Every structure is written in C-alpha cells, then in structure tokens.
Amino acid sequence: MLNELTSQDENLEQIINERIKWFQGNPRDTRLDNHPLTGNMKGRWAFSITDDIRIVYEWLGETTVRFLAIGGHKKVYRRRTG
C-alpha cells in the first residue's frame, strides 16, 4: 500500500515520515487531525497525512499502536461487509 502511494509522489514518503514523527512525539498534535472513528470502525482512530491520505490505527496499550491502513480517504474508510 505504501509503495503504491509513494510511487505516485516522490515527496509523499517524506511527508508520511514527518507526520509519523509528529504522532510519536504527541498523538494529540492538532496538525494531525487525529480522531476516533465511528460505526463499523469504532475502536479505531485515524490521523491525516494530507488532505486525502489517512493512517488508520488502533491502540494496543497506553503507548502502543498498530497501524492498520494507509491510503486515500475512500480506500481506508470503505465499508467493510461480512
């Protein structure tokens, strides 16, 4: 997924790494637009990389997260069925 995104924009990898560093330093950094998800994604969170690209993740503990998806808004928030 990441290679697909970064192959289209050579600066995107740098932006992603910068946002992840911001998140590591302070998950509540307002520049990230970090927010809990609702509906079928309840229990998961997301933060912004660009206007369209998000990282979706879940908390595993007080200081540990697992990144679940990275991609465009429509791709990472698509409805999951079954």
Instruction: Please state the pTM of the whole predicted model.
Output: 0.86
In which domain, by residue range, is 22 found?
2-76
Whether residue 46 lies inside any domain: the answer is: yes
- For residue 82, is it within any domain? no
From first to last of its 82 residues, the chain has per-residue pLDDT tens of 566 777 777 799 999 999 999 999 999 999 999 999 999 999 999 999 999 999 999 999 999 999 999 999 888 887 654 4
Per the listing, tokens 């050579």 go with: 10
Cα(32)–Cα(17) distance, integer angstroms: 13
Domain assignment present for 67: yes
Cβ pair 40, 28 in contact under 8 A: no
* Type of residue found at 1: M
CATH number at residue 31: 3.30.2310.20
Classify burial at 57, counting beta carbons within 10 Å of its beta carbon; exposed 0-12, middle 13-18, buried 19 or more: buried
Provide the number of structural domains found in the chain.
1
In a domain, 8, yes or no: yes
